[in-house]
Structures are given as structure tokens and as C-alpha cells.
Structure 1
Amino acid sequence: MNRLSGAARSGFSRGLIEFRHMFTTTQDLVAFLLPTVIFMVAMAFLRAVPTGAAGLSIGTLMVTSVLGSNVCFSGLLTVSQALSTEREDGTLLRAKAVPNGMLSYLIGKIVFISGATLVSLVITLTYALVVFDEVTVPGPLGWLKLAAVLVFGLFATMPLGAVLGSVFSSPRMTGFISMPIMGLMAVSGILYPITILPVWVQWIAQAFPMYWLGLGMRSALLPDSALAVEIGQSWRGWETFGVLGLWAVIGLALAPAVLRRMARRESGSSVAARREKAMQRIG
């Protein structure tokens, strides 16, 4: 128990160090803030574009969908890129050599990425509450629902991100992950109401967490007039948490086994070989 609690403390400390490093390094900070700023600009331009829902604009709907997509991108892309990058540079091998080092490493990643996601959400939500009159948090229940969507969303995406990061040994290969995620973004109702798409496309979008993250955020922050552009004119709360929960179960079932398999295959020679290939590409 003492060893496990020590690993938890070490991982939490590691996550906080990475979190502070991101906010004190100009390059990392710009990379973190730039997508949020771009989306804010897009929201502002779409403030006056109507959707057909009473009193709501596409910009207003986009605000809440962006909050959901940020969680999805953080859980899938950020986790997978971090694992593949630190697998290549030997960080994972060093963690493996320490008792409970992999557990400490994973806890650190969870703390860092969860913290960064929360900061991004706070920035976007604060902007939305100031700029968009229709975006509100209806009391304690609304805040509780927003927090629940965030937690379920992270659990639904972070384990899957860890699985994807374990599969790809090089960070240059994570482009294979980003392309389908961007495709899902195009059909998940982030930039426009999903109901304008063909029904078969709507079914595809509903099979993945991104749509449900956006829907959950909208249900927590928008008035019921927004239901006019939702599937079935319903927030579908049980379905939202059910689908996100199912993805969380799938990810949590797969991630430990995949990560253990990856850790067993890591060795000094494999790290050296990947470094040599990276240097050859640079050269």
C-alpha cells in the first residue's frame, strides 16, 4: 500500500510539474492557447448566423460543441502523442525501470492532461458567458451536469488515447490518428447542427464520443429552445452518459493490457533504434 501511495504522490507531483512547465514555456503555451483563440474568433464571426432555433445562432451552438471537442481532442490526441513521443525518447523505459514507475507515469499524465483540459474549458466558458447572452449555467444542477459530462468525457477518451499511443511507436505516425478524428469532427455537429446532415451520417456520428460530449455540453449550458436543432428534439441525458460510459468501459478494459504489453517490449536497444531512425530522417 505504501508503494502504491508513493507512486500516486510521485505521479501527482510529476503531473503538476508538467502543468507548470507548459504555462512557463512560450512555445508550449502558444501551442496550447492557439486552437482556443481560433475557435473564439470563429464563434464571434458566427454570432449573428441563425440556426432556426429561437434566439440562437450557430456561434452559440458552436461554443458548447467546442467545449466537448476540446475534451475529446485532449483525451485522444494529447494522450496518444505524449505516449508515442516519450516512448521514442526513452522516458517510458526509464519509468519502467522504477518500481511502480509506469503507474506513477500514467497518474502524472492524467493529472497534467486533466488540468490542461480544465483550463481550456474555463477559458472558453468564461468567454462564452461574457459574449453570448444565451449561454448560461442554470444553477448548481447545471454546474453538476457540466462537471459530470467533463469527467465522463475524460474517462471515455483518455484510455483510448493511451491505447492509440501504445500502438504507434513514433509521434510522426499520430497523423493517422488525427485524420479520422478531424473527419468525426466534421460530422459531429461542432460547426453546424447535426440535423442538417443525412440520417446515415448522423448515425455514424452518434457511435463516437465526440457527438455526445457536444450534446452533453449543450444540454448543460443552453436553453431548451436549442432543442429545435437536436435529434429528436431531446437532450437525451441518459443516452449521453450511457454512450460515454460504454466508451469508458471499453477503454479501461483495453488500456491496461495494451500498456503492459508495450512496457514489456520496451528496451534500451529498441529506444536506440528509434532514435537512430529519427536522426536519419533529420539528416
Structure 2
Amino acid sequence: MTATTVTITTATTATTAATAPPAFALRLGLARGALETKQFFRSRMQMFFTFSMPVVMLLLLSTIFDYKDPDTGVSTPQIFTTGMIGVGIMGSSLQSLSLQIAGERHLGMLKRLRGTPLPKSSYFIGKIVMVLASSLGQTAVLLAVGRLFFGVRLPVDAAHWLTFGWVYLLGVTSCTLLGIAYSNLIRSADSGAVVMLPMTVLQFVSGVFIVFSQLPRGLQVFASFFPLKWLCQGMRSALLPQAYVHAEPAGSWEHGRIALVLGAWAVVGLLLCLRTFRWKGRKDG
């Protein structure tokens, strides 16, 4: 095969991918998402770590800090459950996804994939489907543990289910887009500290390990700039009794602000993906 033939073939492939109808790209994306989901659940170590880590942390925290507020009737294990659901969503999307994409880029898989007729959007749709499946499974496990052991109630009516649904979807969307964009800062899948350090800091200041209202005011303000704080607050509004709203620093659930912040991060993540996403590693030129 001559160089001219290779050039023409590559150009034709790129044109086919770029001009693919949206319905075709969506269908391929869903098919790729099903494949990636199967690969995730067949990877026993990855699945075990993804599902067990939040549960272990929840059990440890609930054993060490077991206190029930006499004014609201809410216990710290119930609060920790809502926080770990937020961590699970962010861990499946931003943390795991960014490391996975960085590994694929480092191994040259993205570079090879870019040379196939697969539309770029189908690749991202596949990742979103995989994140939705893994995070839904993780959320279901945490809800079951919270319900069985700590008396966490499931949403009691359609309004609370609706709140749970839009907070979950906005959280997954914003964190998935941020995870895709954040992968550009990771050299390989072995560079986990680049993700783990900021994730750990955010967990401590966002009401996951420590009740948010008990944090210093400065840390509360700092956490309010990031999605995890609002994701956890949204979960508290859907899963905890209405009486707990008085324990929130603002004295309300602030649903409008939750939607605004998570939506803003989704837009920021999308813009970063469009402008900075790289299909090749730094050494590939």
C-alpha cells in the first residue's frame, strides 16, 4: 500500500466519521456503551474495588461516628450514606473515567480508534453509558446498605424521587464531562495521585466524612465552588427528613443553586472536552 493510498484511506475514514448522522452515531455509541459495561462487570478486581470501597468507608464512618441529632432525628450514619452516594457518583465518573481514558491514550488505543470510522461522539456516548451503569449499581448498593443498617429512607413520594433523579443525572453529567477533560492532565493510568489528592480533599470539605455544617466557614465557602458539595446536599434533600433542612448552613435545600452549580460545571466540562481533548499522547506529537 502506497503512502498516497494510506492518506486517501485515512481522509475517507475521517470524513465518514465526521459526517455520520446523529442517529447512527447514537446507535454506535449505545452499542459501544454496552460493550464497555460488559467489560467493566467482567473485570472482577475493578468491579470489586468500585463497589466495595464506598461501602467499607460508610461502615467504618458509621461505626466510629454514631450519633443521632435529637432535634432532627437524623443520625450521622444516615448523613454519611448520602455523602457516600455523592462520592460514588463522582468516583465512577470523574476519578475512574479520567484514569481509564488516560490509560487508553497512553497505550495508543485512542490514536488507533481515531483512525476508524467510529464517530468521535460515539466514543463519548459509550463512556457515558458505562458510567451510568456502574454508578447506578453503586448507588443501589449504598441505598440498600443505608436502608438495612442505618434506617435511611428511600424517597417517600414522587417529588423526592424527582429530586433524586435530576440531582443524580446532573451530577453524573457534570462529573463525567469533567472526568473526560481531566484525563488530559494524567500521563498514564498509573498516575492515580493526580486524581486521588483533589478527590480526597473535596471529600473532607464537602460533607462526606464530616457533617457539612460542622466545618469551618472558610472550608464551606471553598467547597461551594465544586460539584461534590452540591451533589451531597441534593442527596440529603431527597433522602433525609424535611426536619434536617434546618441543620443546613443556609437553612434550606437550595435546589435552585444546586441545579445552577451542577449545570454550570456540566457546561464547563463540555467546553473543556471540546477544546482540550487529545486522541494522542504527548509523545505521539
Task: From 195, 214, 229, give the equivalent of 2:213.
Answer: 195
Question: Quick check: 2:32–2:126 contact (8 Å CA) kept in 1?
Answer: yes
Question: Residues 79-228 of structure 1 correspond to what in structure 2 (within 5 A)?
Answer: 79-228=97-246
Tell me by how many angstroms 1:13 deviates.
1.4
**Secondary structure, aligned partner of 2:67:** coil
Alpha-carbon distance between aligned partners in 2 of 1:153 and 1:107, rounded to the nearest angstrom: 16
- The RMSD of aligned alpha carbons is 2.1
TM-score normalised by L of structure 1: 0.87
Alpha-carbon distance between aligned partners in 2 of 1:127 and 1:43, rounded to the nearest angstrom: 13
**Secondary structure, aligned partner of 2:190:** helix
One-letter amino acid of the structure 1 residue matched with residue 214 of structure 2: I
One-letter amino acid of the structure 2 residue matched with residue 155 of structure 1: T
Answer 1 or 2: which has greater helix percent.
1
Tell me by how many angstroms 1:116 deviates.
0.4
Alpha-carbon distance between aligned partners in 1 of 2:71 and 2:33, rounded to the nearest angstrom: 42
**Secondary structure, aligned partner of 2:195:** helix
Question: Quick check: 1:80–1:174 contact (8 Å CA) kept in 2?
Answer: no
Tell me by how many angstroms 1:38 deviates.
0.5
Alpha-carbon distance between aligned partners in 2 of 1:88 and 1:2, rounded to the nearest angstrom: 27
Task: From 15, 20, 26, give the equivalent of 2:44.
Answer: 26
Tell me by how many angstroms 1:26 deviates.
2.3
Once structures 1 and 2 are overlaid, which stretch shifts more, 156-165 or 43-52?
Answer: 43-52
Task: From 72, 76, 79, give the equivalent of 2:94.
Answer: 76
Task: From 237, 243, 248, give the equivalent of 2:266.
Answer: 248
1:65-120 Cα offsets, whole Å, 9 max, x none, are 11112112222111211110000112101210012443222111111011101111
Question: Quick check: 2:58–2:84 contact (8 Å CA) kept in 1?
Answer: no
Tell me by how many angstroms 1:192 deviates.
2.3
TM-score normalised by L of structure 2: 0.86
Question: Quick check: 1:11–1:104 contact (8 Å CA) kept in 2?
Answer: yes
**Secondary structure, aligned partner of 2:191:** helix
Question: Quick check: 1:58–1:191 contact (8 Å CA) kept in 2?
Answer: no
**Secondary structure, aligned partner of 1:232:** coil
Tell me by how many angstroms 1:4 deviates.
3.7
- For 1:235, the equivalent position in structure 2 comes to 253
One-letter amino acid of the structure 1 residue matched with residue 27 of structure 2: R
Alpha-carbon distance between aligned partners in 2 of 1:83 and 1:66, rounded to the nearest angstrom: 24
Alpha-carbon distance between aligned partners in 2 of 1:46 and 1:139, rounded to the nearest angstrom: 32
Structure 1, gaps ≥5 residues long: 272-283
Question: Residues 4-83 of structure 1 correspond to what in structure 2 (within 5 A)?
Answer: 4-42=22-60, 44-45=62-63, 48-51=66-69, 53-83=71-101
Question: Quick check: 2:171–2:227 contact (8 Å CA) kept in 1?
Answer: yes
One-letter amino acid of the structure 2 residue matched with residue 16 of structure 1: A
Structure 2, gaps ≥5 residues long: 1-18
Change (3 A) 1:134 1:116: closer
1:219-242 Cα offsets, whole Å, 9 max, x none, are 011112212321122111111111
Alpha-carbon distance between aligned partners in 2 of 1:167 and 1:48, rounded to the nearest angstrom: 39
Alpha-carbon distance between aligned partners in 2 of 1:203 and 1:190, rounded to the nearest angstrom: 15
Alpha-carbon distance between aligned partners in 1 of 2:263 and 2:105, rounded to the nearest angstrom: 29
Change (3 A) 1:111 1:134: closer
How many pairs align? 267
**Secondary structure, aligned partner of 1:173:** coil
One-letter amino acid of the structure 2 residue matched with residue 57 of structure 1: S
Question: Quick check: 1:215–1:235 contact (8 Å CA) kept in 2?
Answer: yes
Percent identity over paired residues: 27
